[in-house]
A and B are shown apart, each in its own frame.
Chain A
Amino acid sequence: MKTKIYQTPSHPDANLKQYILGYTVSVLFTLSAFFLVKNTVFTRNVLEYVVASLAISQFIIQIVFFLHLFNERNPRFRLLVFLLMLAIVLILVVGSLWIMANLNHNMTLPSQIRYMNNQGGGF
């Protein structure tokens, strides 16, 4: 009789097929982005949106096939933590952009902006 309490974490819902499928689809998305840029199928304006949406769909594919966020059993801690992560990253990124734009707007003299742009940086 032995109670095993220190198991290596296993993912019963993860199998090799899913990983291969996810990998293939990801590669396809990346390659098609390359293809679209190289062969100028769309105008530049449309192209930007298409590439961005390809990137986002690849992001979702990876969440589904690699992180298995949507097929875990209840309670869905992974999904919950992921959503919290998204919320916090959004708060921090949007908040920082807002704050920094505000600070730059209020605290930088035109002469400083010119100076910084001359230095190769600036905004």
Chain B
Amino acid sequence: MLYFASFFLGKLNRHAIPTDMVTLGAAVSIVLGLIFGAILITYFHKWKYLWKEWLTSVDHKKIGIMYIIVAVLMLIRGGVDALMLRGQQATSVGVHHGYLSSSTFAQVFSAHGTIMIFFAAMGLMFGIINLVLPLQIGSRDVAFPFMNLTSFWLFVAGMVLVNVSLGIGDFSAAGWLAYPPLSELRYSPTVGVDYWIWSLEIAGIGSLLSGVNFFTTILKTRAPGMSLTKMPMFAWSVLCTTSLIIFAFPILTVTLTLLYLDRTMGMHFFTAAAGGNMMMYVNLIWAWGHPEVYILILPAFGIFSEIVATFSHKRLFGYRTMVGALVSITVLSFTVWLHHFFTMGAGADVNGFFGIMTMVIAIPTGVKIFNWLFTMYKGRIKFSQSMLWFFGFVGLFTVGGVAGVILAMPPADFQLHNSLFLVAHFHTMIVGGVLFGYFAGLSYWFPKIFGYKLNEKLGRISFYLWFSGFLLAFVPLYILGLLGATRRIDHYSASLGWQPLFIIAGLGVLVIASGVFMMIIQHLVSFINRDKLKDKTGDPWNGKTLEWSVSSPAPFYNFASIPVVHSRDFYWDIKNIIKHEPKEITDVLMPKNSNHAPIIGFISILFGFSMVWHIWWLSLVSLLLIIIVIFNRFNDENPNYLLRAEEIIEIEQSHLRLKES
């Protein structure tokens, strides 16, 4: 009996259901939320619509929207984690021990980091790239539309696995990068680390496929005439980001696989005994991890380059130096990874080399900041909400960057390593840099996707809440770090006098939460007033790139006829200088929607789950099923359908009528 149970269920048994109230409460509320959503969809009879129009859609704009919805949900989940962490730290002092146990606290900070990087930031990034990139380079879709949808579903599968760990088993308590030997079986005997491994493996493969996809899209499907040097800066940033993804993510996949082999097969790649070397893990994971942070920030740089030029009504200052800076960051980001472990035993020459390289990489970043400032110089700047995010970014990113250069000095790093100063530094870069960039991009391109603008006033209020909340939440952490507070601390002595600063930091997180709330209100209010905010022209900001030349929301075929590009800010030039005669509209081959991709996603969840719980028969079956589904898709003789020219002309004319009204 027991034998059968362990064959069919692996390590899974009734003890997998968590007993502690906090985790259980979170799991139950997620399940209730899902049931509520399902009831709503059933009530409005939307299942078929959802499946046919969204979940199986290969349209890059719809995939982008789905990415962003998932990413925002994960941003909220990660944000709740952050609130819990700061709540614990504000109350757990002296004789009080807060409301979280040490192990729950460790799970929460591990989940916070993992979710925010992999599922919030990466999700927003792929969402925005999906929404904008093909439109910007004058393409009908990405190079491989089906692969694009598959990437999205693998991303979802990874996300589901992280969240399943709330209700079945537990999550990794070894931090967001799970260093061995702590993450080895001996010190983390539960399935937590396996959940972490498999959610990242699956989502990581999705990211890699997306990287290949967008890289190919940029190189192969640009509009005729758009040479690389006429490409918009956002497209350049995506080209650099995707080449980083292509070279960095395989390292992650291999490293995680080795760790899993250690944990499951009793191997010794990273163990402390039997000739394993845990420092090899740290070395490999940062060889991926450092490029990863540039993967996140480069698209934000691209977004700001578009926004600053558009809202200053000037051409981007120093296009060539911008490209040079992007490319040199791309290469240099592979030469600095040791700065994450200066203190772990490397000698002076190694530390010196990587410290200097870290300072060198700050130079191209500084070049970009100055280029944006010079773009604004003597421009007619419009202080829209997108621009506000940019201003917030410049201030925070410069402060965070200088803190980074301080950390780049090995002697200073020996003092600040693993302190809250470091935590404050990278949050300044990732919130103030990455997240502000994506928010700016979302408010900028929102009308192109949904056809109406976002409410300006509420957007500004949200920005000010985010900005002031950020300062409240992270300036105390800089100070605490200098005072010697380590990161991931769940209890400290009252005599240290840190509590007031932790309380301020906690209040800051609440202010940020109200900024998120204000964003939700902003979207609701804008949706209600969507007729008033309607973007009839398709070009609400006097844009300079191709995406503004089509109607808002962009039609599903993107361009009625593919434009022939002659200059860098081509759409400005069409509007002002050159006469542009659109080509004749012809029939177009469009990719059909695909059931295969969501099915692959669902089976991937099963596969990951069975690998976590050692249910080997299910792993084999699901792997086999995935291969069958892929073959089935490849044997599809007609993955495309013909879109008639008459249909396109009809849609285009209704847009023209709207424009003239």
Contacts and interface: CB of A to CB of B under 8 A. Distances in A.
Nearest to B330: A84
B345 A107 contact: yes
A77 B219 contact: yes
Contacts of A99: 283, 338, 346, 350
Nearest to A4: B589
A98 B353 CA distance: 11
Interface string B255-287: 000000000000010000111110110011001
A12 B331 CA distance: 31
Contact of A6 (B219, B284, B347, B640): B640
Contact of A87 (B268, B277, B331): B331
A100 B287 CA distance: 13
A2 B268 contact: no
B587 interface: yes
B101 interface: no
B274 A121 contact: yes
Nearest to B353: A98
Nearest to B287: A92
B187 to A, nearest CB: 19
Nearest to A120: B275
A99 B346 CA distance: 7
A3 interface: yes
A106 B335 contact: no
A92 to B, nearest CB: 6
Contacts of A87: 331
Contacts of A81: 243
B30 interface: no
Nearest to A108: B345
A25 B275 CA distance: 40
Given A1-B587, A2-B587, A5-B140, A103 B346 contact: yes
Contact of B277 (A85, A91, A100): A100
A5 B344 contact: no
Given A6-B589, A100-B279, A103-B344, A91 B334 contact: yes
B529 interface: no
A18 interface: no
Contacts of A122: 275
A104 B276 CA distance: 12
A10 to B, nearest CB: 12
B528 interface: no
Interface residues of A, number: 31
Contacts of A92: 251, 287, 334
A95 B349 CA distance: 12
A121 B589 CA distance: 59
A95 B589 CA distance: 48
A3 B640 CA distance: 12
Nearest to A106: B345
A53 B387 CA distance: 58
A77 B251 CA distance: 23
B392 interface: no
Given A96-B283, A103-B346, A3 B274 contact: no
A5 B141 CA distance: 9
A93 to B, nearest CB: 10
B563 to A, nearest CB: 14
Contact of B276 (A95, A96, A100, A121): A121
Interface in B123-164: 140-141, 145
A97 to B, nearest CB: 10
A20 interface: no
Contact of B334 (A6, A88, A103, A105): A88
Contacts of B586: 1-3
A52 interface: no
Interface in A70-89: 75, 77, 81, 84-85, 87-88
Contacts of B540: none
Contacts of A121: 268, 274-276
A35 B640 CA distance: 53
A69 to B, nearest CB: 15
A103 B331 contact: no
A116 B276 CA distance: 9
Given A95-B335, A100-B283, A119-B275, A2 B642 contact: yes
A43 interface: no
Interface string B229-252: 000000000000001000100010
B274 A120 contact: yes
B96 to A, nearest CB: 38
B359 interface: no
B588 interface: yes
A114 to B, nearest CB: 12
Interface of B: 140-141, 145, 219, 221, 228, 243, 247, 251, 268, 273-277, 279-280, 283-284, 287, 331, 334-335, 337-338, 344-347, 349-350, 586-589, 591, 639-640, 642, 645
30 contacts: A1-B587, A1-B645, A2-B586, A2-B588, A3-B586, A3-B589, A5-B140, A5-B141, A5-B589, A75-B228, A84-B331, A88-B331, A88-B334, A91-B334, A92-B334, A95-B335, A96-B280, A96-B283, A96-B284, A98-B350, A99-B338, A99-B346, A102-B345, A102-B350, A103-B279, A106-B347, A107-B345, A116-B275, A119-B275, A121-B276
Interface of A: 1-6, 75, 77, 81, 84-85, 87-88, 91-92, 95-96, 98-100, 102-107, 116, 119-122
